[in-house]
């Protein structure tokens, strides 16, 4: 039977912030690897690009020294400096080209670090108000941009992580149906999903059902596992979230065996 492999995202081992406050001190890559090495049962680390991969040789050495694999390279394409009005779907060709360049660089680094997986969560691609976005134009740009990315290296899989909202009121790639639509339109075998269980809850999905749908189309590449509440009735919230979480683990086990 195939075994589970667990990793941690390096971005969560340093300073984090939300719209209210900051959490944890800033840490350099060596400090992050030290923390990761203290986690029982950990097999790998997902490394953020560009923040944690300014020195790829150092990252390779730290992976070896700590007996960890690079599970994926996670590319950030939401920096407002470049992507205030979108990244993959932006009206600006300059912004789209910047996102293509960043992800292609991440693909090359992924191979250098011994992984065939790149993940990104395209949170800059969204909108906040009616009539703000030309949906037809935005989705055409989205499909064209992603097609250019996945054609760059067919030996690296691109796992897109969907999320329904934040920082925009509505994210374009907001649910499992939208990622399946994108995969169908692009048609490349190395395009799939990073299923974030918490984001699936936030999209009012059953993560188990979403995993099953993605797996049926061979698009389930990666899973971010976490637990936060779906928008269900208050007195049912804890049970519903926990039961759905357990259901998701069960379906993932079945998928893994097949």
Integer Cα distance of 199 and 178 in angstroms: 13
Tens of pLDDT along 138-178? 999 999 999 999 999 999 999 999 999 999 999 999 999 99
Q: Please report where in the chains the tokens 């300059």 appear, as a residue.
A: 94
22 lies in a domain?
A: no
Confidence grade of residue 235 (pLDDT, cut at 50, 70, 90)? very low
**Highest mean predicted confidence (pLDDT) among 11-20, 31-40, 234-243:** 31-40
157 lies in a domain?
A: yes
Q: What is the pTM of this model?
A: 0.93
pLDDT exceeds 60 at position 239: no
* Count of domains observed in the chain: 1
Please state the rounded mean pLDDT for residues 192-211.
93
Instruction: Tell me if 63 sits within 8 A of 36, measured CB to CB.
Output: no
37 lies in a domain?
A: no
Instruction: Tell me if 188 sits within 8 A of 151, measured CB to CB.
Output: yes
As a whole number, the mean pLDDT across the chain is: 93
201 lies in a domain?
A: yes
Integer Cα distance of 157 and 221 in angstroms: 8
204 lies in a domain?
A: yes
Q: Which domain holds residue 171?
A: 76-257
CATH code of residue 132: 3.20.20.150
Tens of pLDDT along 48-74? 999 999 999 999 999 999 999 999 999
| pLDDT at position 258 | 74
Please state the rounded mean pLDDT for residues 212-224.
97
- Give percent of the chain with pLDDT exceeding 70: 93
46 lies in a domain?
A: no
136 lies in a domain?
A: yes
Q: How remote is the C-alpha of 64 from its chain's centroid?
A: 24
| pLDDT at position 62 | 99
Integer Cα distance of 191 and 156 in angstroms: 9
**Which backbone phi and psi does 45 adopt, to 5 degrees?**
-140, 135
Mode of pairing for the β-strands spanning 117-120 and 126-127: unpaired
Please state the rounded mean pLDDT for residues 20-43.
95
């Amino acid at each position: 039977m195939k075994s589970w492999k667990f990793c941690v995202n390096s971005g969560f081992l340093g300073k984090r912030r939300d719209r209210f406050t900051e959490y944890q001190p800033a840490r350099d890559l060596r400090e992050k690897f030290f923390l990761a090495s203290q986690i029982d049962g950990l097999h790998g680390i997902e490394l953020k690009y560009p923040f944690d991969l300014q020195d790829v040789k150092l990252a390779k050495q730290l992976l070896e020294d700590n007996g960890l694999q690079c599970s994926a390279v996670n590319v950030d394409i939401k920096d407002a400096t470049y992507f205030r009005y979108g990244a993959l779907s932006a009206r600006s060709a300059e912004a789209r080209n910047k996102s293509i360049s960043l992800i292609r660089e991440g693909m090359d680094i992924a191979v250098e670090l011994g992984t065939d997986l790149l993940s990104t969560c395209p949170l800059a691609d969204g909108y906040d108000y009616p009539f703000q976005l030309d949906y037809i134009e935005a989705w055409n740009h989205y499909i064209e941009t992603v097609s250019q990315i996945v054609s760059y290296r067919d030996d690296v899989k691109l796992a897109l992580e969907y999320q329904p909202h934040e920082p925009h009121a509505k994210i374009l790639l907001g649910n499992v149906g939208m990622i399946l639509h994108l995969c169908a339109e692009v048609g490349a075998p190395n395009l799939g999903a990073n299923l974030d269980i918490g984001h699936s809850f936030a999209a009012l999905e059953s993560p188990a059902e979403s995993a099953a749908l993605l797996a049926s189309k061979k698009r389930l590449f990666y899973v971010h596992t976490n637990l936060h509440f779906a928008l269900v009735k208050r007195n049912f919230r804890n049970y519903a979230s926990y039961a759905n979480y357990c259901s998701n683990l069960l379906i993932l086990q079945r998928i893994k065996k097949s």
